[in-house]
Amino acid sequence: MIEDVPAGALILAFLASITSAFLIWQRRERYRSPYPARLWDMLGNFALMNLMIIMVVAAIIQVTVRFLLSDFMTVGWTAELSSLCLVWLTFLAGAVIIRGGGHIAFEVIYLSMPARFQRANLIFIDILTILILTPIAWHGYHNAVSLEIVQTVSLGMSMAAFAYAIPVSLSLMIVLAFFRLLKHVRGPLSETSTAEA
């Protein structure tokens, strides 16, 4: 399977991983939360940064080769690689954002509620998130499994590589929403909870 992937894509992924690891290491003082949360933040940002670098560099290679070097070479895999990175980047970013409570909220309505209703609202949102994402992740998994036999044209990998972004990312979102639910049920309403609404 990996031997079918173009060497340029593998080299690009390797160089992007090294660059991402270096950039995360340079900004390590930014991660001040306790150990498990700090590890999640660093891994999440590493994955997002890695995908972003691969996507941008692959798009630059595609445009450069298409308009300047089209008589000498073709690199059709760059368009598929950029699309793959965009799909994974979109869904994984949702999982990273849900941990920090950064999804869209109507803060004016939330802040106008009494404190007990604010807590009930946060609990309701977490439960609703879990209930909505669970069947989508389940169906996304079955869709991805059904695509395992279909190959991409240029990358030489299964189309399931695109489809697995949905169940993997949504499963992460469900787990993170569950932990947020536990935090909201157990703990007192804090100043950071208003940013999570």
**More confident call, 190 vs 73:** 73
Q: What is the pLDDT of residue 192?
A: 46
Residue 95, CA distances (Å) to 84, 89, 165 in order: 17, 10, 11
Average of pLDDT values for 181-190? 78
Sign of the Cα torsion 145, 147, 149, 152 reads negative
Rounded CA separation 44/169 (Å):
11
Residue 45: pLDDT band by 50, 70, 90 thresholds? confident
Q: Is the pLDDT of residue 121 over 90?
A: no
Query: In the chain, what are the domain boundaries?
Result: 2-196
Q: Where are the alpha helices (DSSP H) in 27-164?
A: 35-68, 77-100, 107-112, 115-146, 160-163
Q: Is the pLDDT of residue 194 over 70?
A: no
User: Is residue 119 within 8 Å of residue 181, measured between CB atoms?
Assistant: no
Q: What is the pTM of this model?
A: 0.80
Dihedrals phi, psi of 83, to nearest 5 degrees: -65, -45
